[in-house]
């Protein structure tokens, strides 16, 4: 890993923490669906493999030959730990807030290991390969792998609750079983040096592009000249005015967009720039927008400006005569 | 084309739809099993697997090769994953072909899929709110609509061309057994009167969002006759990319697409694609792009794509049939879509396309593109052994 302090140019770059989050929904299909719905009834099912062994958790196919498996087998809710690792300092994303093990548990009647949590009340000394464990069912059974809250030593006392299946609106079917799978990962996003120049300009209500070795002024710049691949290094301040070179009329609301439909989204060629970017056009009926229309940016209020594209509210007509399309042919 | 000859001898597809009753493993296996059956093969016959999928943000799966290795018969075998946005299915098929042509493997299974129903594609296309990058001001269609308007201006194409293409594709989709909600009663008027979303793109000129998978078995010369049906010989393959924000880039007729078609046709010994290609399957998410890509692929003179549409050349019985399967109007399972185009082209030269077969098709072009018209993959397949 590179130390940030030794990372050349890092000081000149904007960076922001960012959490990627989305609530994906998984479709299990009939095989995994049957396994998960079995958990809801505190029963564990596997599939007979071609070598005679029993695959738990089951998949629709043999793990070695890839052929389809069809013979269901119910297995026990206790088994043996065949391998394990210890988590001495759980993070917030771990299932338990005290030290615990992750292990492979071969349930009685199964021949493959199930990867799951082994809970020994934080005591690593109790973890042994070959130890006998049993299922600790969750309080609420949802038809999810976490219906098995953990595996605990076989002699552990039973919990002080009776596990209960969560009520469903309609009877579940294995073939159409789905579950929520919220996905979340934390990142630190670096803008890069060239883009940082541009973004800092936006916060001050200025357009800053970058000139590359080919002579083109790029805005927003992504750091490299698209023709030569060399770094763009020369910041160039650009005016607030430009020309519409492409556009469309948007008639459906766009997520996160504040203006009412219909509105015009246009590719704008800023005066002095060689690349275009998309922005909204306001202050003119959509049907009157045209190629060559001269426009000026409307900046967000100073207090609302950020080092982000929100600083550009939209563009409005300047009232100047349109540009001759012949001069813009390379962009049309 | 240097290296050994390669041919498609097995093709499998799944229904294009929201597939809520199967997992990703089951869906991809269904396509792969159908391809193996077509090829007269079993899992154990395969030497290597090449996998492509929908962009990770669409379905939230980052390591599909891990959980699909055993599902796709890849235990103990090389399993490669290819990733190039929407064009991925085309690039994946080309990579599989190259492994055979390079002489590394004799029998390669290639699979591409999308399970868009597990995520939210409109949210995903917007980038998930990644800092520092410009938001998608106008939504997904809003990126492409200005380029369509620019094409109309440059070529003088009249307003109704997009409707005409969508009408042809939606009729063709009704002939495709895998199509997503096909409607045999579709009329020109209904498309023309459907709501204008991103002017000039109407609702029924835009593709649906689907789940689905496609698979092919690609083999060397020595195995080309194993299936019951004749092979589709891979005559030319090419991939090109270009930066989406390059100044003065021609987004209507991108140089990357032009060069990919030229290179693939040159390998196939084709000097006049308009005369020597019998039909094509192209990646057309919004109907207008058919006219634009016909020009880009060399299947129409520059400025004449829309004229070929106007003349009806693009119909199954026409002079240059395009998207006989219905193209993306028969469903868009992003990760699979490029491979479906390539597979449908191969189905034509194998005489396997059923109700949407072009009589006597000998050479067909498959096309995929991705990103902001930034990635291109093209292959040319033929019925005659080169």
Neighbouring residues of A277: CB distance < 8 A, sequence distance ≥ 6? A219, A220, A267, A268, B134
Burial A159-181 (b: 16+ CB within 10 A, else e): eeeebebeeeeeebebbebbbee
Structure tokens at A322: 């349109």
pLDDT of residue A2: 41
B181 located within any domain:
no
Interface touch B196/A251, C-beta < 8 Å: yes
Contacts of A274 in chain B (CB under 8 A): 247-248
- Please tell me which residue of chain A has the smallest CA distance to B139: A254
Nearest to B284 by CA among B167, B125, B120, B169: B169
Give tens-digit pLDDT for B327-382.
Answer: 999 999 999 999 999 999 999 999 999 999 999 999 999 999 998 899 999 999 99
Residues of B with CB below 8 A from A267's CB? 146
Residue A83 in this model has a pLDDT that exceeds 50: yes
Mean pLDDT of A44-73: 97
Within a domain: residue B316? no
B48 and B105 Cβ atoms separated by less than 8 Å: yes
Whether residue B4 is predicted with pLDDT greater than 90 in this model: the reply is yes
Taking the C-alpha atoms of residue B2 and residue B24, their distance in angstroms, rounded to an integer, is 36
Q: How confident is the model at residue A5 (pLDDT cuts 50, 70, 90)?
A: very low
pLDDT, tens digit (0-9, with 9 covering 90-100), for B81-137: 999 989 999 999 999 999 999 999 999 999 999 999 999 887 787 777 788 877 667
The answer on pLDDT for A6 being more than 70 is no
List the one residue out of B233, B110, B129, B75 whose CA is nearest residue A67.
B75
In a domain, B93, yes or no: yes
Residue B305 domain-assigned (yes or no)? no
Inter-residue contact A150 to A117 (CB < 8 Å): yes
> Which ipTM score applies to this complex?
0.90
pLDDT of residue A8: 56
Selection from B382, B135, B354, B105 nearest residue B264 by Cα: B382
Closest approach of B79 to chain A, Cα-based (Å): 14
Domain-located, residue B97: yes
**Do B118 and A67 count as a contact with CB atoms less than 8 A apart?**
no
pLDDT over 90 at A257, yes or no: no
Q: Where are the domains of chain A?
A: 4-183, 192-331
Contact B75 A66 (CB under 8 A): yes
Q: What is the CA radius of gyration of chain A?
A: 30
Does residue B371 sit within a domain? no
> Per residue in B167-205, pLDDT tens?
999 999 999 999 999 999 999 999 999 999 999 999 999
Q: What is the pLDDT of residue B141?
A: 83
Domain containing residue B95? 6-121+209-223
Q: Chain B residues with CB inside 8 Å of A278's CB?
A: 134, 137-138, 142-143, 146
What is the rounded average pLDDT for all residues in chain B?
95
CB < 8 Å to B119, chain A? 22, 24-25
Question: Which residue from B22, B130, B154 is facing A189, i.e. has the nearest CB?
Answer: B130
How many percent of chain A have pLDDT more than 70?
95
Q: Tokens 């194409």, residue? A: B157
Mean pLDDT in residue range B133-153: 85
- The answer to whether A331 contacts chain B (CB < 8 Å) is yes
Query: What is the sign, positive or negative, of the torsion defined by CA atoms of B122, B124, B128, B129?
Result: negative
Residue B69 lies in a domain: yes
Q: Give contacts of A 284-303 with B, CB under 8 A.
A: 291
pLDDT digits (tens, 9 = 90+) for A207-218: 999 998 889 999
Backbone angles phi, psi at A284, to 5 degrees: -160, 135
CB of A257 within 8 Å of a chain B CB? The answer is yes
The CATH number given to whatever domain includes residue B75 is 3.40.47.10
**Which residue from A24, A66, A246 is facing B59, i.e. has the nearest CB?**
A24
Record: contact B118-A332, CB cut-off 8 A: no
Of A18, A280, A330, the CB nearest to B137: A280
Lowest-pLDDT choice from A145-159, A272-286, B114-128, B267-281: B114-128
Min Cα distance B218 → chain A (Å) is 19
- pLDDT, residue A7, reads 54
Q: In the prediction, which pLDDT does A147 show?
A: 98
Report CB contact under 8 Å: B132, A16.
yes
Q: What is the mean pLDDT of the segment spanning A61-77?
A: 96
* Mutation target among B136, B137, B144, B286 for the A interface, most CBs of A within 10 A: B137
Which residues in chain A are closer than 8 Å to B115, comparing Cβ atoms? 27
- Test A61 with B29 for CB contact under 8 angstroms: yes
Compute the average pLDDT of residues A119-142. 97
Count CA atoms within 13 Å of residue A231 on its CB side: 8
Q: Is residue B32 part of a domain?
A: yes
Facing residue for A18 by CB, picked from B19, B124, B131: B131
pLDDT tops 60 at residue A1: no
Q: What is the pLDDT of residue A161?
A: 97
Whether residue B122 and residue A255 make contact (CB cut-off 8 A), yes or no, is yes
Select the residue of A14, A66, A267 nearest B146 (Cβ to Cβ).
A267
- pLDDT tier, A3 (very low <50, low <70, confident <90, very high otherwise): very low
More confident residue, B243 or A58: A58
Structure token pair of residue A317: 């007509």
């Amino acid at each position: 890993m590179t130390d940030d302090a030794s990372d050349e140019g890092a000081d000149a770059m904007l960076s922001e923490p960012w959490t990627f989050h989305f609530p994906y929904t998984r479709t299990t299909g009939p095989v995994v669906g049957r396994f998960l719905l079995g958990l809801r009834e505190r029963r564990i099912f596997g599939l007979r493999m071609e070598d005679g062994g029993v695959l738990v958790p089951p998949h629709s196919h043999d793990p070695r030959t890839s052929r389809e498996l069809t013979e269901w087998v119910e297995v026990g809710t206790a088994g043996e730990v065949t391998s394990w690792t210890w988590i001495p300092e759980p993070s917030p994303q771990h299932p338990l807030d005290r030290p615990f093990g992750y292990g492979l548990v071969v349930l009685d009647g199964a021949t493959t290991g199930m990867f799951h949590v082994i809970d020994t009340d934080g005591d690593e000394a109790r973890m042994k390969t070959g130890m006998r464990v049993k299922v600790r069912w969750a309080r609420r059974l949802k038809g999810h792998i976490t219906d098995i809250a953990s595996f605990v030593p076989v002699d552990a006392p039973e919990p002080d609750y009776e596990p209960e299946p969560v009520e469903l609106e309609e009877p579940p079917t294995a073939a159409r079983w789905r579950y929520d799978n919220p996905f979340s990962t934390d990142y630190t996003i670096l803008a890069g040096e060239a883009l940082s120049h541009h973004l800092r300009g936006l916060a001050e209500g200025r357009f800053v592009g970058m000139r590359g070795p080919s002579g083109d002024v790029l805005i927003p710049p992504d750091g490299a000249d698209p023709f030569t691949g060399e770094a763009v290094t020369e910041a160039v301040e650009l005016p607030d005015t430009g020309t519409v070179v492409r556009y469309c009329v948007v008639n459906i609301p766009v997520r996160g967009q504040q203006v009412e439909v219909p509105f015009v989204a246009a590719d704008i060629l800023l005066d002095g720039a060689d690349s275009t970017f998309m922005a909204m056009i306001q202050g003119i009926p959509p049907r009157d927008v045209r190629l060559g229309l001269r426009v000026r940016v409307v900046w967000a209020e100073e207090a609302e400006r950020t080092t982000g594209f929100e600083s550009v509210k939209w563009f409005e007509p300047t009232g100047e005569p349109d540009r001759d399309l012949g001069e813009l042919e390379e962009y049309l | 084309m240097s290296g050994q000859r390669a041919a498609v001898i097995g093709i499998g597809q799944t229904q294009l739809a929201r597939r809520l009753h199967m997992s990703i493993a089951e869906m991809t296996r269904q396509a792969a099993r159908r391809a193996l059956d077509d090829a007269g093969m079993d899992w154990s016959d395969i030497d290597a697997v090449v996998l492509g999928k929908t962009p990770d943000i669409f379905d939230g799966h980052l390591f599909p090769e891990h959980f699909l290795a055993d599902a796709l018969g890849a235990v103990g075998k090389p399993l490669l994953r290819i990733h190039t946005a929407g064009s991925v299915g085309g690039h994946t098929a080309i990579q599989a072909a190259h492994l055979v042509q390079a002489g590394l493997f004799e029998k390669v299974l290639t699979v591409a899929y999308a399970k868009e129903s597990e995520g939210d594609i409109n949210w995903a296309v917007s980038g998930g709110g990644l800092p520092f990058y410009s938001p998608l001001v106008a939504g997904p269609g809003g990126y492409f609509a200005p380029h369509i308007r620019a094409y109309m201006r440059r070529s003088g194409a009249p307003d109704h061309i997009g409707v005409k293409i969508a009408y042809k594709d939606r009729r063709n989709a009704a002939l495709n057994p895998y199509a997503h909600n096909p409607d045999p009663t579709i009329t020109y008027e209904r498309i023309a009167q459907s709501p204008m979303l991103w002017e000039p793109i109407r609702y029924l000129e835009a593709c649906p969002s689907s789940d689905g998978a496609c698979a092919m078995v690609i083999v060397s010369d020595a195995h080309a006759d194993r299936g019951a049906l004749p092979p589709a010989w891979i005559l030319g393959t090419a991939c090109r990319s270009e930066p989406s924000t390059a100044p003065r880039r021609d987004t209507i007729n991108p140089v990357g697409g032009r060069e990919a078609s030229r290179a693939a046709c040159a390998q196939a010994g084709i000097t006049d694609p308009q005369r020597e290609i019998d039909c094509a399957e192209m990646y057309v998410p919004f109907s207008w792009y058919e006219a634009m890509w016909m020009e880009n692929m060399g299947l129409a003179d520059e400025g004449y794509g829309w004229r070929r549409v106007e003349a009806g050349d693009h119909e199954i019985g026409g002079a240059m049939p395009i998207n006989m399967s219905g193209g993306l109007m028969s469903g868009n399972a992003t990760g699979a879509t490029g491979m479906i185009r390539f597979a449908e082209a191969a189905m034509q030269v194998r005489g396997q396309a059923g109700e949407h077969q072009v009589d006597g098709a000998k050479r067909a072009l498959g096309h995929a593109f991705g990103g902001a018209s930034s990635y291109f993959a093209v292959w040319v397949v033929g019925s005659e052994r080169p």
